[in-house]
Amino acid sequence: MLVQIVRFTLLPSLTLAAPVVAKLRQLVSNAGASRQYLGYMTSTQYASLPKKRHEICWIILWRKNFAAADKPALVGLDDVAQGEPTTMLYDFDEGQLEQLTRGIEAPICEFAFIRLSPEAPLSDPALRTSLHKTYTDCYKMLGFVDGQWAYSLNANHSDGVALSDSNILDSDDRRLALYFLGWESIELHQDACTTPLFAEEIDKLQPWFYAGSGAWYNIFQKYD
């Protein structure tokens, strides 16, 4: 399933409850979205990524068999956003969706990005193992709910790319891993970040981290 993330800064005269935002959600639903989540982005205590005031993270789950090439232009964003919205695309198997949605719908959803440097050996089994174990180790941490991870199909920076950018990266060029991680609370996630288990794989991956690695939090509202 194609999962799209849109980052945009809400006009200061609006909130997510505004009718114009509901109209935008309906347009996207009519275009083929099966589910949407919107929430204000919140800075993390550790490795926080830059965010603007009133910046929104919008997750769109497109219907089954909806391909990246079919992604429609998000007409109507000009009515709610200031500045230039950006986007990222991710692909998940049907078998991963339950974990993904449980992570997104947790009380706190952490978006944790690992941006790998151009020198990182993507085909190295040890690197691949550490990237995946960074995710699976979360299940041993107090307060973790569920989640998933994947490389971005079209972006190599956590800022995303312009909505008009229709390029899809070759699989060998994808270096932006995003972990959708659900937690019971911000404090429990902060506690987890201080454990040896958290540091175990991060320390191995640290030499390959590149600018744009980091995280933010969201509390999402779901719209079917």
Give the residue with greater pLDDT, 163 vs 181.
181
Domain-by-domain residue ranges, the chain?
A: 2-223
- For residue 205, which of 144, 124, 108, 149 has the smallest C-alpha distance? 124
DSSP, residue by residue, 168-201: ---GGG--EEEEEEEES-HHHHHHHTTSHHHHHH
Confidence tier at 111 by pLDDT (50, 70, 90): very high
β-bridge mates for residue 54, sequence order: none
Least confident of 38-47, 108-117, 123-132, 178-187: 38-47
Of 26-35, 60-69, 177-186, the one with minimum mean pLDDT is: 60-69
What phi and psi, each to the nearest 5 degrees, are found at residue 88? Answer: -140, 145
Residue 222 β-bridge partners: 37
Residue 45 predicted with pLDDT over 90: no
Phi, psi of 106 (to 5 degrees): -65, 160
pLDDT category, 71, cuts 50, 70, 90? low
Q: How far apart are CA 133 and CA 141, in angstroms?
A: 13
Task: Mark 78-87 as b/e (b = at least 16 C-beta within 10 Å).
Answer: eebbeeebbb
pTM comes to 0.94
202 Rama class: left (phi>0) / alpha (psi -120 to 50) / beta: alpha
pLDDT of residue 73: 60
Residue type present at position 71:
K
- β-pairing verdict for 81-91 and 55-62: unpaired
Mean pLDDT of 122-133: 96
pLDDT at 69 over 90: no
CATH architecture under which domain 2-223 falls: 2-Layer Sandwich (3.30)
Comparison of pLDDT for 88 and 63, the residue scoring more? 88
Query: Is 90 exceeded by the pLDDT of residue 165?
Result: no
b (16+ CB within 10 A) / e for 143-157:
bbbbbbbbbbbbbbb
Q: Give the chain's mean pLDDT.
A: 94
pLDDT at residue number 68: 67
